[in-house]
Structure 1
Amino acid sequence: MSSYITKWLAPVGLAFLLVACKPADINGASTNGEQHLTGNTMGTYYSIKIVGLKAARVEAIQSSIELRLDKVNQQMSTYLADSELSQFNQLTSAEGFSVSADTAKVVTAALQLGRQTEQTLDVTVGPLVNLWGFGPDERPVQVPSAQQLSQAQAQTGLGHLRVEYALDGQYLYKAIPELYVDLSSIAKGFGVDVISEYLSEQGLTNHLVEIGGELRLSGHNRHNKPWTVAVEKPHNSDSRSDELVQQVLVAGNNSVATSGDYRNYYEVDGQRLSHTIDPQTGQPITHNLASVTVIDPSCMIADGLATALTVMGPEKALAFAEQHELAVYLLTKTDDGFRVDMTSAFKKYLRG
């Protein structure tokens, strides 16, 4: 789930808005040649189905998967004080800070998506998230003042962040010492891509990789059919499992990411405050867009786009997605339930 304040890479569980495969009770359970590997990572779970993986290789493959996930965590977590990203956030000078190629790649993608979406995706928005009480700080007892908002906004902005590629490596730069980068809206998708690409390199091209609801599909399932997944219907926590499916998809060799905003909120001074912050206003979004699902070859890109489109709102998001030929599915809350909108590029993925 994409969100500016998702506790990605933190020791907490995450709600998710995409129904795929539920974690198995026992790691390595095999049915008709399909292995199901599960575990914990990035503050949530991973669930991976692999067709054609022999039982003798399960332990080695799962060990390699977890090493790669731990590496991403050590690079980009904001909850590990010694991660690359945390060390950069603690930096108070304008000097270049050396980072891995992976971290530079994800920050570069975040900057590019930020520019393409008119900065509705902004990985520097953390001070505003904290101000409104959705970060690690305590929830405020009143709506922030205009002065507080102005001060927090002065500490944010993609224009203050830069990536430089040199012969000796990659470097991050911050133009203001207070700049704080949080990659939770894009890097979990990157983790999915890392694992999917690793499995393909191992000759395991038929697989489904999920981390906390973000998915990447490749090849076919154990029945030699394309993988199917489903967009979750907005619901209350006590809803029955047969009420959860909104739309079944056959997404092919693609990734699927969903961002939602229908459950995570609180009230202050009689105002309903969404957990999703609009970087341009510095305030929680006020529109009724409940969830956005994006299909793209890259889970990292799908993850970031889902967040950016959620900030835009239903009309602007749909127009933007059509203009850029994106495969996008929107659910908007109305007085009569939820309205469905989708782009032309999305329709080919619907299962009848």
Structure 2
Amino acid sequence: MLMATLPGCGNGDAMESFGGPTMGSTYSIKYVRHAGLADPAQVRSEVEGILGEVDRQMSTYRSDSDIERFNALPANRCQTMPAPVLELIRVGEQLSEQSEGAYDLTVEPLMNLWGFGPQGREEKVPSPAALAETRQRVGYRHLRIEGDQLCKDAAVEVDFNSIAAGYAVDTIAARLETMGIHDYLAEATGELKASGKKLDGSPWRIALEEPRDDQQVAERIISVDGYGVSTSGDYRNYFQQDGRRYSHTFDARSGAPVLHNLASVTVIHPSALMADGLSTLLLILGPEAAWDYAEKHDIGAFFVIRADTGFVTRTSQAFERLSGGKTD
């Protein structure tokens, strides 16, 4: 959902870049290597080690991950969890409380039921009876943390897809900083964080895509330094039935995909983790409620809304401030 513009040439120092597959998608790292910094092979090893750890702890697409082993447990059971998993559970609870339950990490059974999840079989509107039964296994309040254990009082299943990539990017960024790398663009599955400058001294510039599923078109280009950026949209993963469009973005309160005309939301935040979660939260809320939420909480948000004539955009005051204004 985010396209990073390529860096320019430099004077003496080297621009390094590498990437590969991760989390069912890809990652990419670009950074300026000054004299005396770590060998690029070591940097890559550190980054891929972080991505591998996130996958082992949080992936819903491998049965041996920590979270999938927890998801397989019946109700009224607990499991010892690594600290990052518990951290994300707390972040999810915070976002759920702030959105009055619209955002919820336990929607995986609903996603499977509608055909979007890792165990989804067919993309279709479920029967009312199946929906009612599945909703009994959804709800963040069924989770609790006891020491280093995650517990559940119903057969809920946790899905970190709305925040795991942002967490990974923050962790990578922190590792790069400890290695003396302060000019970088770190991206995983479209979530990113940029710091410092490119090789030629110009800022990192990020192109925000127009929400189209047929081609990539830049809606706006922004400069980023010291912030995470995340876009959530409903235009890549959806199905149509009886003339209605159903996306993979779920409102946990209704148990169904959202049906409003907010096509995508981009959030700028000091934390890529929070940008990731907040972009999903705002997309769930819809154009008016999301706008009010962003203004109330001083969130940098860029909204793309479907209209009869195409798309219209709207930006929060914080977005204009954090992105440095519009860039041509």
TM-score normalized with structure 2 length: 0.92
Of 127, 130, 133, which aligns to 2:112? 130
Whether 2:21 is the aligned partner of 1:40: answer yes
Sort the Cα spacing of 1:163 and 1:21 in 2 relative to 1 into closer, same or farther, 3 A.
Answer: farther
Of 13, 32, 51, which aligns to 2:32? 51
Instruction: Give the match for residue 68 of structure 1.
Output: 50
Contact 2:38 2:179 in 1 (8 A): no
Q: C-alpha distance in 1, partners of 2:113/2:218?
A: 35
The amino acid across from 1:58 in the alignment is P
The amino acid across from 2:94 in the alignment is Q
> Runs of 4+ in structure 1 displaced over 4 angstroms?
53-56
Q: C-alpha distance in 1, partners of 2:87/2:23?
A: 19
Instruction: Give the match for residue 69 of structure 2.
Output: 87
Contact 1:294 1:328 in 2 (8 A): yes
Tell me, what secondary structure is at the counterpart of 1:228? strand
Of 290, 295, 298, which aligns to 1:325? 298
Using the TM superposition, give the Cα deviation of residue 279 of structure 1 relative to its aligned residue in structure 2, in angstroms: 0.8
The range that moved more, 285-294 or 82-91, is 82-91
Identity percentage of aligned residues: 39
Tell me, what secondary structure is at the counterpart of 1:345? helix
Using the TM superposition, give the Cα deviation of residue 96 of structure 1 relative to its aligned residue in structure 2, in angstroms: 2.6
Whether 2:317 is the aligned partner of 1:344: answer yes
Of 238, 250, 260, which aligns to 1:287? 260
The amino acid across from 1:351 in the alignment is K
Q: C-alpha distance in 1, partners of 2:236/2:77?
A: 41
Tell me, what secondary structure is at the counterpart of 1:280? coil
Q: C-alpha distance in 2, partners of 1:49/1:271?
A: 41
Sort the Cα spacing of 1:268 and 1:118 in 2 relative to 1 into closer, same or farther, 3 A.
Answer: same
Contact 1:35 1:53 in 2 (8 A): no
Contact 1:217 1:253 in 2 (8 A): yes
Contact 1:314 1:330 in 2 (8 A): yes
Q: C-alpha distance in 2, partners of 1:110/1:56?
A: 35
Contact 1:310 1:317 in 2 (8 A): yes
The amino acid across from 1:116 in the alignment is Q
Contact 2:27 2:189 in 1 (8 A): yes
The range that moved more, 252-261 or 92-101, is 92-101
Contact 2:111 2:120 in 1 (8 A): no
Instruction: Give the match for residue 179 of structure 2.
Output: 202
Sort the Cα spacing of 1:202 and 1:314 in 2 relative to 1 into closer, same or farther, 3 A.
Answer: same
Q: C-alpha distance in 1, partners of 2:38/2:273?
A: 31
Of 94, 103, 113, which aligns to 1:112? 94
Contact 1:46 1:210 in 2 (8 A): yes
Q: C-alpha distance in 2, partners of 1:105/1:301?
A: 12
Q: C-alpha distance in 2, partners of 1:41/1:208?
A: 16
Whether 2:297 is the aligned partner of 1:297: answer no
Q: C-alpha distance in 2, partners of 1:276/1:248?
A: 25
Contact 2:233 2:283 in 1 (8 A): yes
Contact 2:173 2:186 in 1 (8 A): yes
Using the TM superposition, give the Cα deviation of residue 262 of structure 1 relative to its aligned residue in structure 2, in angstroms: 2.3
Contact 1:114 1:120 in 2 (8 A): yes
Of 190, 203, 207, which aligns to 1:226? 203
Number of residue pairs matched by the alignment: 320
Contact 1:20 1:213 in 2 (8 A): no
Of 196, 208, 215, which aligns to 2:192? 215
Sort the Cα spacing of 1:267 and 1:22 in 2 relative to 1 into closer, same or farther, 3 A.
Answer: farther
Q: C-alpha distance in 2, partners of 1:126/1:114?
A: 15
Q: C-alpha distance in 2, partners of 1:149/1:236?
A: 28
Using the TM superposition, give the Cα deviation of residue 271 of structure 1 relative to its aligned residue in structure 2, in angstroms: 2.9
Tell me, what secondary structure is at the counterpart of 2:29? strand
Whether 2:128 is the aligned partner of 1:150: answer no
Sort the Cα spacing of 1:179 and 1:56 in 2 relative to 1 into closer, same or farther, 3 A.
Answer: closer
Cα offsets for 1:256-290 (capped at 9, x unmatched): 00000124221223432222121111111111111
Using the TM superposition, give the Cα deviation of residue 52 of structure 1 relative to its aligned residue in structure 2, in angstroms: 1.9
Whether 2:100 is the aligned partner of 1:100: answer no
Using the TM superposition, give the Cα deviation of residue 49 of structure 1 relative to its aligned residue in structure 2, in angstroms: 0.6
Tell me, what secondary structure is at the counterpart of 1:250? strand
